[in-house]
A and B are shown apart, each in its own frame.
Chain A
Amino acid sequence: MTVNQRIWINAIIIVLLMTVPLLIKRTDLITWFTYTLLYISLAQSWNLIGGYTGQQNLGHAAFFGIGALCTRFLWLYGLPLPLALVTGAVAATIFAVIIGFPAFRLKGVYFIIGTLVLAEILKIIFFTVLPHASVLPSKILNTYSLTPRYYLSLLMAVITVAVVYWISRSRLGLGLMSIREDEDAAEAAGVNTLRYKLTAFLISTFFAGMAGGVYAYFAAAALPGEMFSAVWTFDAVIIVFVGGVGTILGPIIGSVFFVLLQQLLSLYLPAGSHVLVFGILFIVVVLYLPGGLIGLMTRLRQLSPQKESDQIAA
């Protein structure tokens, strides 16, 4: 595929997605689409730090939560939505600056656990400080429409994917991937690893906060503590791993698959059964299929018919 073809395909997909609310009138389907796009933003933002940089941040929910909470309250107090969204994302980033320096003192597995614990602390605090659900006021609820929510999540998904794609092609992206492969070697080769990791962390948390803001605009009622629930992190992590960690397409395919499975299984099985399937897939991916679904697809494509017969003969 040439670059031109790729641009055309992407443009066609985006235009198709833009026509969804015009063609489909079923609210449940539009809700599915909105969730899928929200998960794409969230998973892609995690992918930047967890996939490309190899720093599995299990505290992503904290930044999602801060973004969601700030956006929600500012918006409900009358700030225009775009301003509230940006403020929420900036608040998440500021928090990331505060904890980034101490967090990156921790290496490898301690960074993973440390960030998880950090998000848990925030969750406990917000469950206690704000124990009541935030429900949209009747003035907004009366005119509640899914269409603007859908378009907002589409816009966020497109921006997040585009930015992560651009970073993955840039000097910054190469530095991040070199840190993932071997941090000491990257440092020796002249990559300022702490600065690179922090940059990736800040961008990642900015978009996590942004995704949180979209959720805050979308949810009719939400417990502030739930916005910090570790489930947001876990969903993002399994989506990225099952889709294909450290790839652009992986989180997108993972999100589609995740929401589809979630909705289909909830028809027959108790809520949460999709996590069972995804959990098993996650373990399989970690142990035997490091590329996830994307890796599997490229591997299958490489097995051209000729090679396949060779393999059977062997």
Chain B
Amino acid sequence: MAHFLASFIGVAFAIASLVLLSLGLAVIYGMMGVINLAQGEFIMLGAYTVVFSSAHGLNLWIGMVLAPVVVGIVGLVVERCVIRFLYGRLLDTMLATWGLSLGLIAAVTLILGPSTEGVATPLGHVAIGSYAVAGYNLFVIAAAAASVALTWYVFNYTKFGLVARGAMQNAEMVAALGIHPPTIYMVTFAFGSALAGLAGAIMAPLTGVVPSLGLAFVAKVFITVTVGGAAIFAGTLSAGALLGTIESAVSFVSTPIYGQVAMLGCALVLLRIAPQGVSGLWRRRG
């Protein structure tokens, strides 16, 4: 029983971290159709915010609240300076954000140095039978659930969410109502960036923080969002669950790297069968 619970928590942790990391991109892609190749770097910046604030004596948890704010602002700047000129040009957006990704990694390397930083993992261990489960892993699972719930709330129960979803379906209509679609896009992109920053901050205590941190996560995130499809919640959650399970299973048997390979393989097969991603399976063909 304890063994089952511990394993279950292990898998839940893998799924939760995947969902947490992918949520930001899922929002940006689902709401605006933009694939932001710098999303990994937003995650990295969130992690660095925590590292930086901890190094300056701030409480870890305060750093975690600070990170989404900082990265949200970065996202805002990026949207204003680059993304907004490229709406409707999907491949060009990808190219430009790719350039941004390279530039950000280089900038952070130059400013903060290439060496690995770290933050201690808080919360100790929780005993389950004779197994010890990291308390922080439980926190990550809770944080992922909370982020999804928060995002769900924002998009379905707030005025902003309603307008944003309206703009996604029909931008002209929203404009006719007196709301400026470019502002919606700007805020949505900032929100997606903030989510990435939060994810980075939460994952920071679990991994060495280096400028190329984003690259370690971004492969998984892209795969999840591509398999998930355009439906932000149903897609990301189902894809996260499926791919997270496979990843943790294979990682357990061999190494995390092959866990990613297994994810990729599974994703390729899935996409061959269901080109619209999991979202397409949920919808019926007209």
| Binding between chains A and B | no
Chain B residues engaging chain A, CB cutoff 8 angstroms: none
